[in-house]
Amino acid sequence: MCRSDVKQAVLAKNDDLAARLREDLTERGVTVVNLLSSPGSGKTELLGRVLARAVQRGVPVAALTADLATENDAQRLARSGAPVQQLLTDGLCHLEAGQVRDRLDGWLPADTQVLFVENVGNLVCPASYDLGETLRIALMAVTEGEDKPLKYPTAFGSAHLVAITKTDLAAPAGFDEAAFRANVQRVNPGVETVRTCARSGDGVDALLERALAVRHAPPAHRPPLAPGPHGHSHGGHGHDHDPAAAPLA
């Protein structure tokens, strides 16, 4: 069996587990939101704000955060007052559906409406793995460069929603938001992009509302590169999709 065949077999097994996990959680009234970004994008701080807002509003939410090592992020997120668990991957650069299922077993509070999964900080491998989510959000900080969607087309092309983070730093970073949005549309035409800032709270309510909305109806947007049942392609590391060939929105 060649390397490509092995990879497809692994992804197919993951898809089966993800489908069962999604079905089980949906029956329990739980919606899963998968957060993808590179390290340092600010997604932990932003997620903490979203969790705190949900707690303030009386919305039962929980979070599972993944890292190669340390429980630092779980400790930070727990300050929100929401139930939080850390998942250590022991060197693996992404989460898989089986890991999520095993970590949730016996832990997830019965009244949870939305489970946020903070994936490992990586824009490559995590993009190919369905975790049983209903909503996938790709985040990028203004300090990372406007061309990130073109460099990591599978991550951005598999997202139901894109979030710009650290917008308070846009001016000093010289961030060209129009160029970024155009690049997002090249790999994922029609996807919504939301501006956020953890420090000011900008966009926090918008993210929470998007998460709550998919509890009642699937996302209206169908990303072209979503893995598993969300789309038609696993995408791999982006080699099967040429962003330059996509028209500008």
Flag whether 247 is in a domain: no
Flag whether 248 is in a domain: no
Which pLDDT score, from 0 to 100, does residue 91 have? Answer: 79
The domain that contains 154 carries what CATH number?
3.40.50.300
Q: What tokens were used for 77?
A: 């997120």
SS (H, E, C) the chain: CCHHHHHHHHHHHHHHHHHHHHHHHHHCCCEEEEEECCCCCCHHHHHHHHHHHHHHHCCCEEEEEEECCCCHHHHHHHCCCCCEEEEECCCCCCCCHHHHHHHHCCCCCCCCCEEEEECCCCCCHHHHCCCCCCEEEEEEECCCCCCHHHHCHHHHHCCCEEEEECHHHHHHHCCCHHHHHHHHHHHCCCCEEEECECCCCECHHHHHHHHHHCCCCCCCCCCCCCCHHHCCCCCCCCCCCCHHHCCCC
Count the domains in the chain: 1
Which pLDDT score, from 0 to 100, does residue 174 have? Answer: 98
Which pLDDT score, from 0 to 100, does residue 8 have? Answer: 83
Neighbours of 199 (CB within 10 A): 13
- Using alpha carbons, list the distances in angstroms from residue 210 to 10, 140, 193, 216, 242: 31, 18, 12, 11, 29
Which pLDDT score, from 0 to 100, does residue 2 have? Answer: 59
- Rounded to whole angstroms, how far apart are CA atoms 127 and 9? 16
Flag whether 70 is in a domain: yes
User: How do residues 120-143 score in pLDDT, each as one tens digit?
Assistant: 999 999 999 999 999 999 999 999
Flag whether 221 is in a domain: no
Flag whether 135 is in a domain: yes
User: How do residues 147-157 score in pLDDT, each as one tens digit?
Assistant: 999 999 999 99
Flag whether 57 is in a domain: yes
Residue 33 CB contacts under 8 Å (≥ 6 apart), including other chains: 114, 115, 116, 117, 133, 134, 135, 136, 137, 211, 214
Which pLDDT score, from 0 to 100, does residue 226 have? Answer: 81
Determine the structural domain holding residue 12 and report its residue range.
Answer: 3-214
C-alpha closest to that of 208 among 51, 22, 83: 51
pLDDT tens for the chain, 249 residues: list them. 456 777 788 889 999 999 999 999 999 999 999 999 999 999 999 999 999 999 999 999 999 999 999 999 999 999 999 999 999 988 789 999 999 999 999 999 999 999 999 999 999 999 999 999 999 999 999 999 999 999 999 999 999 999 999 999 999 999 999 999 999 999 999 999 999 999 999 999 999 999 999 999 999 999 999 876 544 344 443 333 444 444 333
Which pLDDT score, from 0 to 100, does residue 228 have? Answer: 62
Q: What tokens were used for 150?
A: 């073109």
User: How do residues 32-70 score in pLDDT, each as one tens digit?
Assistant: 999 999 999 999 999 999 999 999 999 999 999 999 999
Which pLDDT score, from 0 to 100, does residue 245 have? Answer: 41
Flag whether 245 is in a domain: no
The distance of Cα 96 from the centroid of its chain, to the nearest Å, equals 13
